[in-house]
Chain A
């Protein structure tokens, strides 16, 4: 049987994604614009190589969400998830803009980037919440309060962790608010990465679970950065640290690509009429 057009597109996109990651790694290591020193042009290249997958992830998520009718639970899940990705696209753009204006100086403590990341995390959390509710609640119930309670618990937990971090001497050179934000991200990563891992175990090979794999990849990528941030790099050789940074940053771009590919596959799964199935006699 001849492979269908959608099969070509899906495998073609997967191949392009791998090539994209290879280009990213090459760019990361070679610094092609700035010679031996990492400079603004190289940074811009890296940003662009990150921005395009982010755009692809947000675009594909939106396309899939719009395939569902208003009022359907999957539309609510994927649209919330898609808006989260758009927030992160906003974060990537804001990052590029801030790099332009603050290339030679430090960023302000609260930036638009932080707002975009935080909004993205909250929306991912909400999408995860909708997904879990669809799985575990047999009847649809209004449980917005439950989600708000979970958010409040995460914020309070972060507050506690900020206090502990301060006491143990972490982030002495930054304000309490900046430290709070810096700890909030790992908390979100931990909670949402854990929830995504739970969904991964629930869905296993089911196609529905694949878009969530992106959150697991982000959690892995961020956990390396967090480990270094709390001083883990001091115990490692510079070469190991460099390799882990490369792995972390590539995984971060890979996460966007995973989400985009998963939604592409999801999009073709929704096409009507479906490819004619083969009959099977009992």
Chain B
């Protein structure tokens, strides 16, 4: 029954609603992110996405469409008392990309054969500044990655191959054709807002720290990022500030949760910059960096009140 990340084994069983809820409870207890694929005897399939044990959304798969749905309502309508379930804990990056793909408008599926075709297609995407989630299925590899104005985002890429997850495209590893689909994100969805928030916060962080490093030097910039670590550790966020980038590999179930995390981190950034450069210059550099973010990401940050003025005393 495996639909997504078929190369990964997961836990497959036949069970009823109670068994499904028990499995969800297991995810919650272990704070797993991942997916559950539930299929009845009529081959109707629902995919549930979980972030750190919390159910994010469920999707009814109908031919080419993925429709957001309420899991329990569907299960109650099904005549079968039991159904087959495949639960698969995944990395946060893999799960949130799957969420983004399921929340997007699926495009037509096409085949790519060989590395040359693949590179040609990527080049065409780059030329046309394509934005969307690319979904790949082949015998040996399933994967997703996000194209942002034609550029593949390294932190938003995941490929399942031989029971493992990779962030690099493992094209050379196999010879079978790839079924590729470009999913166009819907701006109104939470998955898209989460992504834009993540990208925007990352860019803001990068511009701010680069500017700070230019005036205060490498050592003080390292000290600044060092001061972010206790907050990150305390909340178990999978966020790594290194080399002036904010590598966010955490799956926040809602954009508001991500915004809270970024707010806490930018508070620390503002505080540390204020100690060294004074609040006026800290404010100025945060504002300058904010202006460098593309308008789309900036408006998502603004809508979550992530504004330069909020982070300096």
Please indicate the chain A residues that have their CB under 8 angstroms from the CB of B11 in the complex: none
A254 on the interface (CB 8 Å rule)?
A: no
Q: Say whether, besides A73-B215, A281-B234, A282-B264, A208 and B278 are in contact (CB < 8 Å).
A: yes
Q: Across the interface, do A277 and B227 meet the contact criterion of CB distance under 8 Å? A: yes
Q: Across the interface, do B275 and A206 meet the contact criterion of CB distance under 8 Å? A: yes
Please indicate the chain A residues that have their CB under 8 angstroms from the CB of B260 in the complex: 282
Q: Say whether, besides A135-B281, A274-B227, A276-B230, A74 and B274 are in contact (CB < 8 Å).
A: no
Q: Across the interface, do B226 and A74 meet the contact criterion of CB distance under 8 Å? A: no
Q: Across the interface, do A68 and B214 meet the contact criterion of CB distance under 8 Å? A: no
A157 on the interface (CB 8 Å rule)?
A: no
- Measured CB to CB, the closest approach of chain A to B190, in angstroms, equals 20
Looking at the complex, which one of B219, B261, B279 makes contact with A205 (CB distance below 8 Å)? Answer: B279
Q: Say whether, besides A74-B217, A135-B215, A282-B260, A206 and B231 are in contact (CB < 8 Å).
A: no
B2 on the interface (CB 8 Å rule)?
A: no
Q: Say whether, besides A202-B278, A206-B278, A282-B260, A75 and B217 are in contact (CB < 8 Å).
A: yes
Q: Say whether, besides A208-B277, A273-B226, A277-B227, A69 and B233 are in contact (CB < 8 Å).
A: no
A234 on the interface (CB 8 Å rule)?
A: no
B216 on the interface (CB 8 Å rule)?
A: yes
Q: Say whether, besides A75-B217, A276-B230, A203 and B277 are in contact (CB < 8 Å).
A: yes
Q: Across the interface, do B274 and A206 meet the contact criterion of CB distance under 8 Å? A: yes
Task: List residues of B (186-224) whose CB comes within 8 Å of A's CBs.
Answer: 211, 214-220, 222-223
Q: Which residue of B lies closest to A205 (CB)?
A: B278
Q: Across the interface, do A204 and B278 meet the contact criterion of CB distance under 8 Å? A: yes
Q: Across the interface, do B219 and A206 meet the contact criterion of CB distance under 8 Å? A: no
A280 on the interface (CB 8 Å rule)?
A: yes
Please indicate the chain A residues that have their CB under 8 angstroms from the CB of B17 in the complex: none
Q: Say whether, besides A277-B230, A279-B234, A282-B264, A272 and B219 are in contact (CB < 8 Å).
A: yes
Q: Across the interface, do A209 and B218 meet the contact criterion of CB distance under 8 Å? A: no
B69 on the interface (CB 8 Å rule)?
A: no
- Measured CB to CB, the closest approach of chain B to A82, in angstroms, equals 15
- Measured CB to CB, the closest approach of chain A to B281, in angstroms, equals 6
Q: Across the interface, do A272 and B274 meet the contact criterion of CB distance under 8 Å? A: no
Q: How far is the CA of A138 from the CA of B210 in the complex (A)?
A: 11
Looking at the complex, which one of A69, A269, A280 makes contact with B276 (CB distance below 8 Å)? Answer: A269
Please indicate the chain A residues that have their CB under 8 angstroms from the CB of B215 in the complex: 73-74, 134-135, 208
Please indicate the chain B residues that have their CB under 8 angstroms from the CB of A173 in the complex: none
Q: Across the interface, do A274 and B223 meet the contact criterion of CB distance under 8 Å? A: yes
A104 on the interface (CB 8 Å rule)?
A: no
Please indicate the chain A residues that have their CB under 8 angstroms from the CB of B227 in the complex: 274, 277
Q: Which residue of A lies closest to B282 (CB)?
A: A206
- Measured CB to CB, the closest approach of chain A to B204, in angstroms, equals 15
Q: Across the interface, do B281 and A206 meet the contact criterion of CB distance under 8 Å? A: yes
B267 on the interface (CB 8 Å rule)?
A: yes
Among the interface residues B217, B263, B276, which one has the most CB atoms of the partner chain A within 10 A? Answer: B217
What is the size category of the interface that chain A forms with chain B?
20 to 34
Please indicate the chain B residues that have their CB under 8 angstroms from the CB of A277 in the complex: 226-227, 230
- Measured CB to CB, the closest approach of chain B to A71, in angstroms, equals 10
Q: Across the interface, do B233 and A73 meet the contact criterion of CB distance under 8 Å? A: no
Q: Which residue of B lies closest to A277 (CB)?
A: B227
Please indicate the chain B residues that have their CB under 8 angstroms from the CB of A202 in the complex: 278, 280-281
Q: Across the interface, do A68 and B217 meet the contact criterion of CB distance under 8 Å? A: yes
A258-282 Cβ-contact flags toward B at 8 Å (1 or 0): 0000000000011011101111111
Q: How far is the CA of A281 from the CA of B263 in the complex (A)?
A: 11
Q: Say whether, besides A73-B217, A282-B263, A207 and B230 are in contact (CB < 8 Å).
A: no
B136-150 Cβ-contact flags toward A at 8 Å (1 or 0): 000000000000000
B288 on the interface (CB 8 Å rule)?
A: yes
A240 on the interface (CB 8 Å rule)?
A: no
Please indicate the chain B residues that have their CB under 8 angstroms from the CB of A274 in the complex: 223, 226-227
Q: Across the interface, do B216 and A74 meet the contact criterion of CB distance under 8 Å? A: yes
Q: How far is the CA of A261 from the CA of B176 in the complex (A)?
A: 69
Please indicate the chain A residues that have their CB under 8 angstroms from the CB of B281 in the complex: 135, 202-203, 206
Task: List residues of A (113-152) whose CB comes within 8 Å of B's CBs.
Answer: 134-135, 138, 140
Q: How far is the CA of A237 from the CA of B222 in the complex (A)?
A: 57
Q: Across the interface, do B280 and A72 meet the contact criterion of CB distance under 8 Å? A: no
Q: Across the interface, do A207 and B276 meet the contact criterion of CB distance under 8 Å? A: yes
Q: Across the interface, do B231 and A279 meet the contact criterion of CB distance under 8 Å? A: yes
Please indicate the chain A residues that have their CB under 8 angstroms from the CB of B274 in the complex: 205-206
Q: Across the interface, do A206 and B217 meet the contact criterion of CB distance under 8 Å? A: no
Among the interface residues A135, A203, A206, which one has the most CB atoms of the partner chain B within 10 A? Answer: A206
- Measured CB to CB, the closest approach of chain A to B23, in angstroms, equals 31
- Measured CB to CB, the closest approach of chain A to B168, in angstroms, equals 32
Please indicate the chain A residues that have their CB under 8 angstroms from the CB of B282 in the complex: 206
Please indicate the chain A residues that have their CB under 8 angstroms from the CB of B267 in the complex: 280, 282
Would you give 8 A-B contacts (Cβ < 8 Å), ordered by A?
A202-B281, A206-B276, A206-B279, A206-B282, A269-B220, A270-B220, A280-B264, A281-B264
Closest 8 CB pairs of A and B: A206-B278, A282-B264, A279-B230, A204-B278, A203-B278, A74-B217, A279-B234, A206-B277
